[in-house]
Amino acid sequence: MNIFKTGPRFIRGYIETLRFTSLKKQLDKLREAGDLEGEKELIRFGQKRWVENITPILGLTYEVHGEENIPKPEDGPFMLYSNHQSFADICATLWLVKDHCPMGYVSKEEWRKYKILADVVEYSRSIYLIRNNPKEAIKALGEAKKMLDMGFNMCIFPEGTRSQKHEMGEFKAGAFKFAEKAKVPILPVTIDGTYHFFEEKGTWNPAHIKITAHPLVHIEKMDKHEQKEAQAQIEATIRGAL
């Protein structure tokens, strides 16, 4: 990693992340008042400001397809399922929904060690998942269902880890339990090009990212057999747009 290239961008990105966590007091007041709609809008505002400001800092550009497939807030919560090439996939998914809705994430437990990232997880209504731990996976399923029942949207990367390249790994079957348990539809999304940002060379570089939102899949209306078939189709749809 070239610290002379990454250092200044890291600092500016850190400052933008602090701006998001500066909303904590307002978000706490909204939570205490039980104002879920106000909280959702403030999270969306904070995420939109963050991604719009950090995008030029990181040298990212986007090409978005299928934005019309994003559900309207009045349609209720949904889960976004996407392939996972890079750390920059967070930017890509937030860019996709920034004018539509807030987005929480199923985040890896390791982020809890870094206070600023732990604050972002907490105040964006995201949850932690300890990988390869069945007991904790059940707990995470319950927490995600609670967030979705409250009307917050969630994003999960079913590969379970970054592919760090163009090719997509296999989806973990357990990832689909989140949408099935909460009985919410799935928005399949394909992200391509984020691995050029960091993973390809080990230093931050400009990257052009193609984001494709596919038609919503109403997995909540299916029986178990149909859901099994839909899982395979969702994975194939996301892979097919790479």
Model pLDDT for residues 119-130, shown as the tens digit of each residue: 999 999 999 998
Residue whose C-alpha is closest to residue 233's, from 81, 32, 103: 81
pLDDT at position 133 over 70: yes
Note the pLDDT of residue 114. 86
Span 147-159, average pLDDT: 97
pLDDT at position 151 over 90: yes
Note the pLDDT of residue 132. 78
| Token code pair at residue 64 | 């978005």
Residue-wise pLDDT for 204-237, tens only, equals: 899 999 999 999 999 999 999 999 999 999 999 9
Note the pLDDT of residue 6. 63
Span 162-186, average pLDDT: 95
CA 181 to chain centre: 19
Span 120-148, average pLDDT: 91
Beta bridge pairs of residue 81: 156, 188
pLDDT at position 7 over 80: no
Residue-wise pLDDT for 46-81, tens only, equals: 999 999 999 999 999 999 999 999 999 999 999 999
CA separation for the pair 100, 159 (Å, rounded): 25
pLDDT at position 5 over 80: no
Contact 94, 168 (CB under 8 A): no
Note the pLDDT of residue 230. 97
Note the pLDDT of residue 104. 97
Which domains are delineated in the chain? 3-240 (3.40.1130.10)
Strand-pair category, 186-192 with 207-213: antiparallel
Note the pLDDT of residue 130. 83
Note the pLDDT of residue 4. 45
Note the pLDDT of residue 3. 43
pTM of this prediction?
0.94
